[in-house]
Amino acid sequence: MQELVKVGERLRDNAAENPLYLNYSNPMAMNMMAIDRVCGLPSVGLCHSVQGTSRQLANYASLPYEDITYRVAGINHVAFFLEFKYRGQDAYPLLFKALENPRVFASDKVRFEMMRRLGYFVTESSEHFSEYCPWFIHHGQKVIKEFGIPIDEYLRRCESIIATWKDTEKRMLADNQVSISKSVEYGSQIINSMETGDPSVIYGNVANRHHITNLPTGCCVEVPCLVDAQGVQPTHIGDLPPQLAAMCRSNIAVQELTVEAFLTGKREHIYHAVMMDPHTSSQLTLDEIWRMCDELIDAHQRDGFLPQFEPARKNTGRSAASLARVIATITDKRTHLADTKSTPLELVVTNETQQRYKGKLALDLDRRAFTSKMPATLPIDLAPGMSKTFPFVVTAKSPDQQLRIGIRGDGPTVLGLDYVQPARQAVRIGKDGHPIQIVWSGNTMAEGMLHVDAKGLLLALRVADTDVTANEEALREGSAIELFFASAGKADGLPVQIIVMPYRTKASVRTPRGAAVKGATAKIRADKGGYDIEAFIPAKAAGFTPGTPFLFEIQLRVNALGDAHGKVSQTWQNSPRPHQETTHYAVIQPTG
């Protein structure tokens, strides 16, 4: 493709006037699409499938070739005889009659079988056409044998053509006595018509400019073309029968993505093209397709080809360079929340690019509400693959402020992730204090109320889970409500995990090991739209003491949200997650 485009560019830039680019090289449709998009000059791709198949059809129908006419359209190697006529009459009935003749059927099994299924005869040979659809060679030796598909036929044909050419060349150079006669190829016919003005009709592969109206504009289509002194003029077909258009589109998607990879140098489009190929997708999983593409690209690049395709990020379809960034993040380094004002933080900057990064990061902090020794602008100098850590402390002037730190780089390669710490609430729970009540509303997953006081926790929810199935063997694969508690005032406070397990007729409250939580109760009512659940967990079982600060998180999982399929989870937290690292904090802190 690359070399053909170079030829086209030379023609465009150096030819005397209005050159016509004739191309005989495969893959025809991809090559012509690239030539059309890059070179901007008249071009036509030439193949002999139509001429050869038209003669075969005349033979199958026992008709003299000079008495038949036909109309063909589609894409190269997936074009169909929309009309096949004998002296102006529809001769397709003779082809369907031949379909039932074992001798005739045996000579062209794949194409006759596809005519049976699609209603139209395809231009390309049975051997080659079977590579454009997923119903034959991909199903193993039994089907290959049943349809008589010669897997290595094209290799044999290529060897024969090369041998014939070498012999012809030798005889031409020796005595110049080689006879030359007109062939079925269109090249000389086009030249003759353009030079003499004598009109002719050929089948050419050209850019689709509304010639076939139910195929994408700009793809390469094979249609009848008038040729005269004005050049090659494609004719209008209109809509293909829908089943034929669908067959063409399944291959056009591959062609478009391959050309896109060539034009943009984006490695990911190679994977996309192979994924969409009906041949490959019928045989290989996504992982196998990815590995195959990587192996082929690497092999070509070792031989000096495909230099424009950069290495990909492992297990992705994106080039490593397109994903490489200098990433800046902030994490909270507190081990407990006894201090409600000062927050030790850590800025980590990692250079994931292949170039040295030397620039500045701007930290956007509201210094009217917070103080910190970290400067507003921080110089960064990092070699490729290196990281650097900057510890700092932010102190709130008032405990009820939301802390937000924005990170901005000085170029597009810098990805800064803002740090947000929700405002802290100073409240008293339990003895001589007030309870906490949180209400969910307007949430598509769950609505309800959470009440926490000195006695414990009361949870009342309506959950839109239409497949209420708890999984005691794998908690994260079924319906469940997980609650996490941890002491906020102790550096060594271990989290307590409690799981409410909903079933359609009952609910239970358990520890992760499956033991019932002492003093806890739960009841459920399920219907077709979801379930209502109430659960009570004593304060002692949750591990918090009335009058002391604690951390809390609730995580809700559903099997099917409303009429949708697939598992969904959602978390509400009034603390850093006790069970895993997080950068979001809110403190439940007693007063006095």
Hey, which residues are catalytic here? 48
DSSP string, 494-548: --EEEEEEE-SS-EEEE-TTSPBPTT-EEEEEEETTEEEEEEEEEHHHHT--TTS
Backbone angles phi, psi at 580, to 5 degrees: -160, 160
Give the number of other CB atoms < 10 A from CB of residue 186: 25
> Which 3 state secondary structure label does DSSP give 115?
helix
Question: Is 578 within 8 Å of 551 (Cβ atoms)?
Answer: yes
Query: What is the rounded distance in angstroms from the CA atom of residue 147 to the CA atom of residue 159?
Result: 24
Give the alpha-carbon dihedral of 102, 106, 111, 113, to 10 degrees.
Answer: 50
> What is the residue-wise DSSP string for 131-174?
TSSSSSGGG-HHHHHHTT--TTHHHHHHHHHHHHHHHHHHHHHH
- The answer to whether the peptide bond before residue 549 is cis (omega within 30 degrees of 0) is no
Angle between helix 28-39 and helix 2-14 axes, rounded to 10 deg:
40
**φ, ψ (nearest 5 deg) of residue 535:** -140, 140
Q: What are phi and psi of 185, to 5 degrees?
A: -65, 150
* CA dist., res. 88 & res. 92, Å (int): 12
Write down the residue that tokens 């209008």 correspond to: 236
Tokens of 227: 């040729």
The answer to whether 108 and 122 have CB atoms below 8 angstroms apart is: no
Between CA 23 and CA 31 the distance in angstroms is 9
In degrees and rounded to multiples of 5, residue 425 shows phi and psi of -105, 130
For the beta carbon of residue 23, count every other beta carbon within 10 angstroms.
19
> Is the CB of residue 232 less than 8 Å from the CB of residue 223?
no
Q: Are 50 and 181 in contact (CB under 8 A)?
A: no
Side chain identity, residue 306:
L
Using CA atoms, how far residue 224 sits from 1, 252, 333, 462, in Å, is 24, 19, 72, 65
φ/ψ bin of 14: left (φ > 0), alpha (ψ from -120 to 50), beta (otherwise): alpha
DSSP state of 581: -
Q: In the beta sheet, which residues pair with residue 14?
A: none
Pairing of strands 530-538, 550-558: unpaired
